[in-house]
């Protein structure tokens, strides 16, 4: 890295990109689902609550837990760029690419997130850099493109 690197970039060049908007939405949605679940359960008349079997209640809780897992997966997505390459975590799946494996970062207008194009014609979506984050997403893509160019020299 050159001496004119931004202050928020450590000397080793490691940068972590996490979604801001989707993470906030995921946490708020998880909390709202559980609050609604308990609010409805507690406000139902006792005679109606007594008609629910343990299997029905368990199914509702299981549905909430699956919804929580999906939302948490979106919120935990991230992209790490360091001297070794790019490490992408989309939900519960991870990809590790060396800089030499990456051809480009594509981020076309209207795309929900950018994707990495590899030498073996794979496209790896980077959910950790959502377009909804605006300038942060554009800065992340430019940073990744600069690192790809540096690695190609």
Contacts of 136 (CB under 8 A, 6+ apart): 17, 20, 129
Q: Whole-angstrom Cα distance, residue 151 to residue 99?
A: 6
**What is the Rg, in whole angstroms, of the alpha carbon atoms belonging to the chain?**
21
* CA 53 centroid distance within chain: 37
pLDDT of residue 8: 53
Asked if 144 and 103 count as a contact pair (C-beta separation under 8 A), the reply is no
Q: What pLDDT digit, counting tens, does each position of 55-114 carry?
A: 999 999 999 999 999 999 999 999 999 988 999 999 999 999 999 999 999 988 888 999
pLDDT of residue 2: 43
Span 133-151, average pLDDT: 91
pLDDT of residue 70: 94
pLDDT of residue 153: 59
pLDDT of residue 7: 46
Look up residue 13 and give its DSSP letter. Answer: -
pLDDT of residue 6: 47
Q: What pLDDT digit, counting tens, does each position of 14-47 carry?
A: 899 999 989 999 999 999 999 999 999 899 999 9
Residue 140 has pLDDT above 60, yes or no: yes
Domain locations in the chain?
A: 22-74, 77-152
Q: Whole-angstrom Cα distance, residue 84 to residue 16?
A: 13
In CATH, the number for domain 77-152 is: 2.30.29.30
Pairing of strands 78-81, 85-90: antiparallel
The band of 9, judged by pLDDT with boundaries at 50, 70 and 90, is low
């Amino acid at each position: 890295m050159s001496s004119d690197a931004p202050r928020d970039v450590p000397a080793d060049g490691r940068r972590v990109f996490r979604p801001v908007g989707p993470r906030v939405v995921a946490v708020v949605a998880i909390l709202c689902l559980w609050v609604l679940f308990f609010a409805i359960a507690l406000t139902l008349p006792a005679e109606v609550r007594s008609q629910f079997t343990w299997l029905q209640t368990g199914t509702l809780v299981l549905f909430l837990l699956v919804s929580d897992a999906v939302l948490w997966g979106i919120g935990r997505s991230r992209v790490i760029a360091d001297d070794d390459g790019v490490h992408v975590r989309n939900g519960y799946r991870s990809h590790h690419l060396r800089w030499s494996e990456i051809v480009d970062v594509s981020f076309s207008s209207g795309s929900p997130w950018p994707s990495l194009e590899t030498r073996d014609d794979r496209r790896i979506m980077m959910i950790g850099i959502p377009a909804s984050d605006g300038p942060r997403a554009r800065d992340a893509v430019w940073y990744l493109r600069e690192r790809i160019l540096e690695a190609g020299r």
